[in-house]
Amino acid sequence: MFEVKHKDNLGRTGKFTIADHKIKTPTLMPVVHPGKMTIDVKSLGAEIVITNAYIIYKNDELREKALKMGVHRLIGFDGPIVTDSGSFQLSEYGSIDVDNKEIVEFQEAIGSNIGTSLDIPTPPYAGYEKAKRDLKVTIQRAEESLNYRKKMMLNAVVQGSTYPELRSECARRLSTMDFDVHPIGAVVPLLESYQYKDLVDVVMATVEFLPPSRPRHLMGAGHPMFFSLAVSMGCDLFDSAAYMLYADDDRLLSSSGTYKLEDLQEMPCSCNICVEYTPRELKSMEKDDRRDLIATHNLYISFAEIRRIRQAIADGNLMEFVEQRCRSHPRLLDAYRRFLDYQELIEKYDPVSKKSAFFYGGPESLKRVEVYRHLKRMKRLHRKRGVVLLPACEKPYSANLPQMDILFSSAPVEVDEWDFMVVDIPFGLIPLTLDEFYPLAQSESPSILDSDSKKFIKSLISKVLHEYDAVLVSRDLNEKFGLGFTYEMPAPKIEIPHRERLIAVADYQFGEGAGEALFNGNLEIVKSKRTGRIRYVYVDDELIASIRTSDGFIIPSWKGASLLHSKLDYPRCRVVVDGESEPFAREGKNIFAKFVIECDKNIRANDEVLIVNEDDELLATGKSLLCSEEIMDFSYGQAIKTRRGRR
Ligand code: GUN
Ligand code: ZN
């Protein structure tokens, strides 16, 4: 049972229920060596831990104890415990002497909460045929494990080496079976050799085909430096043996890298250990004492990073956080750049509105999903014959444009219908009609352009030259981008009629035709006294919509929703609920994902939606908390926050 709370890119915060425990995700599961638990991981933030069933199984004393008193008492942890199967030992030593059935049944017998079958961790860059053969065994053993377990939850590890198509195929196959968590396996060698870019391909090829309703565990990724990018790719669980392994080697983890104790003049953080001890004091200690103190620091740092990531998702600024983290190592920057190549997939999951503004963090930001989505959604807008390109200014642009009497064109033009667009970073071209819409209005970028930004803008301008019959540019743009327009033209009056603005916003938000559906008739506008912006829109004396101040979104009234419903063909903007939940929807109760039987593929988290029954009768309006793929996949938790029902 897994429920998503906040989303950002492919990342999510959620609640994972195991037995009677509710675990906040993303989270880190410290690896606890059975019989060697020397530090109190719970007090450092661990809500769930992972241990190795094979090690217990192979040791007579541990095995007897575990069978008698259970794994929870054996390792002294009363929260959920995940057990691994010995596959890691298999990959390290080539063979192990236990079979799949034995080890799965053993895990259940010792009371593990989530058990793991005996997958085959095919290393990166293995031969294709070997990877494929191994994968067949991995999938078969996972499938068998469903018959061996009684009540225990089950991991099903995704393998496939560095072949994206094998990873995808594995994810697809496992997703049709009844598993609870999907670890992504055999990535440790990629992490150890800093091949983060290849790891991105592995994770993205996997996540695309895993059911969003199941938590994903990036196995063996214990360095906090990589957590935020992994979370952005949709990983929910991490395990850390690193905290102890690094400590044993006198190395201190940080969110941007690793420190060797021998190099430290100063303690690098503000945890209890780093405040209380100096490097000199640590160096002079007994090995075991020192190891436990460094391990404590390492876990402290790791959980601090996890908490900051969860906060960033709730705030909607996970990418700003990732951009900072990925600047601490060029290989991480590579990985981030590779991640940005998956815009189409990311766009499906990224919410359309967030609490935070978009902060430009460098040229990579131009490839962020918000920019990709904007350029895609621009195609939804009606286009006039000519366009006027205006220089960036303070926001909102339409209220702060400089006085311009003369504009420039490449040839004399005779067009009397103009679109007006501001040229700015990161979104490139922003129609004045959309200058209050998220994230176009809620973005910050430096005023001095880097060369990538200049190139980006230039390429957009050259596209515009093909799309319009006439293009006028300001003197400033003409010079800055070397356009060489020589004809001077009197500037057309910049005017954005209310109806035009509203239609553009509606088409951009809901898709083509929504504006005509909503704002056709005699318009009456009520503006906010404080901001001067449109707050309420009446058409022929009926309230059609309000405009949300924070992000400029149109919130349709009941009448507005009815108009959208009658003018936009099924299934556009629709979420279809079953008969059982119809009365609840009509009463304005929130919609749970399990009652949804169909929905528009284009629905994104935070979209305004129409809630209908199987006969496409409008029952209610609401805000989607999830995207279409998630709405259809989850059978637990809320999908739509209902605004009002039909009564
Ligand atoms: N621990 C680290 N990598 C792996 C893996 O691929 N499979 C299993 N079962 N455990 C692991
Ligand atoms: Zn510290």
Q: Phi then psi for 432, rounded to 5 degrees?
A: -60, -25
88 CB within 6 A, ligand 1: yes
Query: Across 314-394, where does the E strand assignment appear?
Result: 358-359, 386-391
119 CB within 6 A, ligand 1: yes
Residue pair 141/96 in contact (Cβ under 8 Å)? The answer is no
Name the burial class of residue 489, with classes exposed (0-12), middle (13-18) and buried (19+) by CB atoms within 10 angstroms of its CB: middle
104 CB within 6 A, ligand 1: no
134 CB within 6 A, ligand 1: no
* Ligand 1 atom, smallest distance to 87 CA: 9
d(CA 464, CA 418): 13
Q: State yes or no: is 84 an active-site residue.
A: yes
166 CB within 6 A, ligand 1: no
Instruction: Give mean pLDDT, residues 59-77.
Output: 97
Residue pair 551/606 in contact (Cβ under 8 Å)? The answer is no
Q: Please report which ligand is nearest the Cα atom of 294.
A: 2
Instruction: Categorize the per-residue pLDDT at 647 as very low, low, confident or very high, splitting at 50, 70 and 90.
Output: low
pLDDT of residue 448: 94
Tell me which of 54, 57, 83, 88 to substitute to probe ligand 1's pocket, judged by most ligand atoms within 8 Å of the beta carbon.
Answer: 88
Tell me: the pLDDT tens digits for 283-302? Answer: 999 999 999 999 999 999 99
Residue pair 298/243 in contact (Cβ under 8 Å)? The answer is yes
Residue ranges of the binding site for Zn(2+): 269, 271, 274
* Ligand 1 atom, smallest distance to 155 CA: 9
- For atom 4 of ligand 1, the residue with the nearest CA is 185
219 CB within 6 A, ligand 1: yes
Of 84, 350, 435, 600, catalytic: 84
Q: How far is the CA of 21 from the centre of ligand 2 (A)?
A: 29
One-letter amino acid identity for 590?
N
Instruction: Categorize the per-residue pLDDT at 74 as very low, low, confident or very high, splitting at 50, 70 and 90.
Output: very high
Q: How far is the CA of 277 from the centre of ligand 2 (A)?
A: 9
Of 618, 516, 606, 644, which is closest to residue 631 (Cα–Cα)?
606
Tell me: the pLDDT tens digits for 271-281? Answer: 999 999 999 99
Q: How far is the CA of 327 from the centre of ligand 2 (A)?
A: 21
Per cent of the chain over pLDDT 70 is 100
* pTM greater than the 0.95 cutoff: yes
Q: Please report which ligand is nearest the Cα atom of 243.
A: 2
Chain mean pLDDT for the chain: 96
Residue 451 has pLDDT above 80, yes or no: yes
Q: Phi then psi for 321, rounded to 5 degrees?
A: -65, -45
Q: How far is the CA of 38 from the centre of ligand 1 (A)?
A: 23
Q: Phi then psi for 406, rounded to 5 degrees?
A: -115, 135
Tell me: the pLDDT tens digits for 480-526? Answer: 999 999 999 999 999 999 999 999 999 999 999 999 999 999 999 99
DSSP one-letter code for 627: -
